[in-house]
Structure 1
Amino acid sequence: MKITPDRRDAALEARRALKMARSVHAYVRGNTAQFYQWLQASPAMAHVPAGPDVWICGDCHLGNLGPLADRHHDFAIQIRDLDQTVIGNPALDLIRLGLSLETAARSSDLPGVVTAHMLAAMIDGYARALSPETEDDPTEPKVVRAVRRRAAGRRWRHLANERIDGPAPTLPLGQRFWRLADHERDAVDALFADPHVRTRALALAGYGEEGHLRVLDAAYWRKGCSSLGRLRHAVVLGVRADKHGPEYLALVDIKEAIPSVAPAAPGATMPSDPAQRVVAGARALAPNLGERMIPAHLLGKSVVLRELAPQDLKIEVAQFSRRQAVAAASYLAYIVGMGHARQMSDATRHAWRDMLLPDLAQADAPSWLWQTVVDLAARHEAGYLEHCRNLM
């Protein structure tokens, strides 16, 4: 598909608006900047506890968790998108996840009492991550178990069948992949010729200085929702251990990194380059992902490169049952808590847990979490309806 960059940007913005109109849950996922504006304006924000300064996801919604492979092809459920990561208050990730779960429950026609149970279950699951020496892991819900089984059975051929067109190592141009302009393709070739990127990419592939790689194909990748309209390229690489060895294929995602809209802790020391910030946050929160990332620059923009693995999947929920909604809330908050907790000392973890659970006998969610999620749910519902009206 031949399309100029200007026409591409206009088409992507229209596509993003339509995706956000699918449901209020989709609207929440694609509206991170507005989320933080409304959160800062919420009266409930005054009661949100100030947690320890750690790397947070910044965009911790349901679709941003799932199986992630490490460089040795083992995998674990972790946070899978760190575009908005900053050093900040971990309570913000809980609020964002709580709102995402609330809208997913509403989209599943579940009553409001389920949301109350989900938020309470979130705090329970998160607290378990902060006290691994005394708490059992929460039960893995069916929706997570299903995606874990699927990830365990996936191999390179599955990824190739989804992304690569036929036996030739080319990306299928059409609705998903668009042809690059000549200067864009030249820039991709130059990127992988850069000694730093080449050396790092070969190291991730398990090869040393004698390895060889070449760009076999590249295309613009129309992918995601919040990332639509930004630089996003898919690249097929041919990689060899040596000049005469067999050539293996690798599929690389190149994604533009931009400044985060999530509020950082005052005085937090973070890389000023957006790509380096994303990689630093990923290494802290989701090691499986962070160890596979390379920060770089392409066409004057900060970008993050990562090889796609067959096991990298997102948790998709078409419909929640009451029981599964509560189980998912507990387990996913536990995963987020594990990402936060690995950055804390034992004393810090216990102090943060005591701040979240001042009354261990309390069975419902803390009032600050309930009030922020309820307020934000109302604001997002109104914003979603206005968004849909503006598309008429």
Structure 2
Amino acid sequence: MIDAVKEIADRNANREPERLAMKYRAMRTSPFVFLRGTCHLFYRRVPAQGVLAQGPTVWICGDMHLENFGSYKADNRLVYFDINDFDEACLAPALYEVVRLLTSVLVGAADLKLSRAEALGLCHSAVDAYARALAFGKARWVEPETSVGLVRELFDGLAKRTRADHLDRRTDLKGKKRVLRVDGKKALPVDDPTREAVTAFMASFAKELQTPDAPAFYRVIDVARRIAGTGSLGVDRYVVLVEGKGSPDGNYLIDLKEALPSSVAPTLKTKQPHWSTEAQRVVAVQQRMQAVSQAFLHAVTFNGRPYVLRGLQPSEDRVALANRDGKLPPLEDVVNTMAELCAWAQLRSGGREGSAIADEMIAFGEKTDWQMPLIELALQCEKQVQDDWRAYCEAYDGGVFGAAAKG
């Protein structure tokens, strides 16, 4: 018997209290936010037998839901829309990824003001899109010219935004120098020893790159603790303002985040490859699954622990799912795109360290016997998430998680 409250408390033990309290408070607001914050619990609940056992073994991001897609600037300096969170990445049966996406649609229906019939319709459409993309057997990608609907609107908005605009959202300009805006919403202050440690690390990292401009580019101007996401709140994480191409408007923002073990892998029977560090796992799978890797992506070691370093991805770079004037087709386009991106990522990373080859995925995509059982399983998962959320709310309102966040 799984005790949801204990599972959540155990999973989040030893996280930073200030940001952990933010996570617990956010999870109280809706079942959808709760789902985002409890990936470990979701996969502890999902039955390994049945429909999930039918699919080929593939690489998964491990935490696929409606909010884990977004635009980003890649290392080729072009902008793409793709899966953007790989903290839980591992080898798993293919449908482990899809059932979580479908469950997020069902659980998020209330937040998106969808009827039950509309949410179910989106699930059926997404399964069809995923199956077709697998059966086609060729990995594609989404860029401005190939995007439609709300994703296209996202790209159009990005095209109008300058680097200065991006910096203005996160920093304050003092004369000709920028400093991070420590507002308690996106950033928190760091103490002097931490600032010095991050600054020294970035200087060492730049030197190891062995490129002439790296030391100047990565010269640290300011450091803060970053507030972002839901599931990872409380994990050691920083936003670093670096010199980049020159102050004030050529500065860059870097995300430095501790990499923890995947919470999905221990729930599986699938044998996992050996990784030198958890950061190596995250970065390697991200490089395999994304069409083009995110800019500045590196697996690093800071303070003797594994971290992922990458360009900061603003929350503004996600699709505004609620901005559809109550119309269903724009949302259907986005969810279908997400399902296709899932299939394309699996195809793109096929044949690597135990993952199935494209022929196996194509054959699976051509079958139809798994589609209805998968939707039925997502409905069961939705009910379980709702039940767990209610148990969490009772415990939270009773002060259990307030005490946990304080350590």
Q: TM-score, normalised by structure 1?
A: 0.84
Q: Deviations over 1:316-338 (max 9, x none)?
A: 32366333333322221011111
List runs of 5+ in structure 2 lacking aligned partners. 1-13, 398-407
Verify the 8 A CA contact 2:31 2:389 in the aligned structure 1.
yes
Are 1:128 and 2:132 counterparts?
A: yes
The whole-number CA distance in structure 1 between the counterparts of 2:147 and 2:311 is 28
| Mapped partners of 1:58, 1:134: distance in 2 | 22
1:166-207 residue CA offsets vs partner (Å, 9 max, x unmatched): 24221122313222122211210221122x44443x85xxx6
Partner of 1:352: 361
- Structure 1 residues 69 and 49, CA, compared in 2 at 3 Å: closer, same or farther? same
Say if 1:286 and 1:137 are closer, same or farther in 2 by CA, change over 3 A. Answer: closer
Residue 180 to residue 371, structure 1, CA distance change in 2 (3 Å): same
Residue deviations 1:95-146 (CA, integer Å, cap 9, x gap): 1111111122233342322233222211222133224479999995532222
Query: Would you say how many aligned residue pairs link Structure 1 and Structure 2?
Result: 371
Match of 2:262 among 260, 266, 272: 260
- Alignment-derived partner of residue 380 in structure 1: 385
Q: CA deviation at 1:299?
A: 2.6
SS at match of 2:46: helix
Q: Which residue of 2 aligns with 1:99?
A: 103
Relative to structure 1, the CA distance from residue 280 to residue 291 in structure 2 (aligned partners, 3 Å threshold; closer, same or farther) is farther
Is the deviation greater in 129-138 or in 176-185?
129-138
Q: Deviations over 1:336-382 (max 9, x none)?
A: 1111111237x9434324324424xx8xx813311221111001111
Shift in Å at residue 39 of structure 1? 0.8
User: SS of 1:225's equivalent?
Assistant: coil
CA contact (8 A) 2:254 2:312 kept: yes
**How far does residue 216 in structure 1 lie from its aligned partner after superposition?**
0.9
2:55 to 51, 57, 71: 51
Q: CA RMSD in A?
A: 3.2
Secondary structure of residue in 1 paired with 2:367: coil
- How far the C-alpha of 1:20 sits from its partner, in A, is 1.1
Same amino acid, percent of matched pairs = 23
Equivalent of 2:277 in 270, 273, 276: 273
Equivalent residue number for residue 328 of structure 2? 322
Separation of aligned partners in 2, 1:145 and 1:51: 32
Q: Structure 1: how far apart are the matches of 2:23 and 2:170? A: 21
* Code of the aligned partner of 1:388: C
Corresponding residue number in structure 1 for 2:154: 147
| Contact 1:95–1:372 under 8 Å retained in 2 | yes
Question: What is the CA–CA distance in structure 2 between the aligned matches of 1:35 and 1:309, rounded to whole Å?
Answer: 26
Retained in 1: the 8 A contact 2:59–2:92?
yes
* TM-score (normalised: structure 2): 0.81
Q: 1:353 to 1:209 in 2, by over 3 A?
A: closer
Following superposition, the deviation at residue 269 of structure 1 comes to: 1.5
Residue of structure 2 in register with 1:178 after alignment: 188
Q: Match for 1:221: what amino acid?
A: R
